[in-house]
Amino acid sequence: MIRLRGVTHSFEQPVLTGVDLEVPEGTLYGLVGTGASGKSVILKIVASLLRPDSGSVVVRGKELTTLDATGLAKHRTETGMGFQNNALFDFMTVSENVAFPLRRLTRLSPAEITRRVEQRLARVGLDGFGHRLPAGLSGGQKRRVGLARATILGPPVILYDEPAAGLDPVASQRIFDLLREEQLQAKSTVLMVSSDIDRLLSVTDRVGVLFQGSIAFEGSTEEARASEHPAVRQLLRGELEGPL
């Protein structure tokens, strides 16, 4: 379970002004909002890549703001992160990219690492792609490599930032369907940010709408679809009533 209470964060200007958000264990939660509204900042705070200016951040019963360096390191090993730009190492093969967390964070034998990487690649439809470099992959294939790497450690919590950005509608839907399939199989807790609202809503259990620095709406996907909240209507259904 992920729970944020009163979370604030600023750069030159305030970005988060008091975020209250709750992702129940074992659910896929979609977070939406306008551009530069702070969605990715929330993901980085949950991943402990950023520290909030104030507020409480609890992940799987642990208050992140009070953890020491050892505790934060353990939290990061239990949290998968799918980055918006894939963040693949261009000089590494597909297999080496996927193996990177295992080599960095475990003491598994080379043979076991190879076995797990091959298993993951087959799971995301990239069997036989391990020898390729990222430059030789399509956008959708790079997304699948990122998914394989984010899930290779079997983390109970996974965060995705725009997992299908830049893909055509068919490839985008395949990525969302694969993420949902993975989440259901692993029973993981997923917090996902996406601007592809229609496809996001096709896989989510719950939805949160970030508006002017706080969560304006939080509820089931069905409740979000039916909500008459102005921010929900504009972001989810494109019903413009004035500037967001």
What are the CA-CA distances from residue 6 to residues 97, 142, 154 (Å)? Answer: 37, 36, 30
Residue 216, SS3 per DSSP: strand
Say whether 219 sits in a helix, a strand or coil: strand
Strand 62-63 to strand 54-59: parallel, antiparallel, or no bridges (unpaired)? antiparallel
Neighbours of 183 (CB within 10 A): 21
How high is the pLDDT of residue 35?
78
Tell if the pTM clears 0.85, that is, is over it: yes
Q: For residue range 191-215, what is the model confidence (pLDDT) as tens digits?
A: 999 988 889 999 999 999 999 899 9
Q: How far is CA 149 from CA 21, 73, 79, 140, 218, in A?
A: 27, 18, 12, 14, 30
Q: Are 127 and 121 in contact (CB under 8 A)?
A: yes
> In residues, how long is the chain?
244
pLDDT the model gives residue 7: 97
Tokens (6 digits) for 135: 């430059």
State residue 216 phi and psi, 5-degree precision. -85, -25
Q: How far apart are CA 236 and CA 241, in angstroms?
A: 13
**Terminal-residue alpha carbon distance, the chain:** 30
Spell out a b/e string for 99-122, using b for 16 or more CB atoms within 10 Å of the CB, else e.
Answer: bbbbeeeeeeeeeebeebbbebbe
Distance CA 71, CA 94 (A): 30
| Residue 33, beta-bridge partner list | 210
Round to whole Å and give the CA distance between 154 and 123: 13
- Mean pLDDT for back-to-back runs of 10 residues, the chain (244 residues): 96 93 96 88 95 96 94 90 83 96 90 95 91 92 90 92 87 90 93 92 95 92 90 77 51
Q: Which pLDDT does position 164 carry in this prediction?
A: 85
Q: Which one, of 11, 89, 6, lies nearest residue 50 by Cα?
A: 11
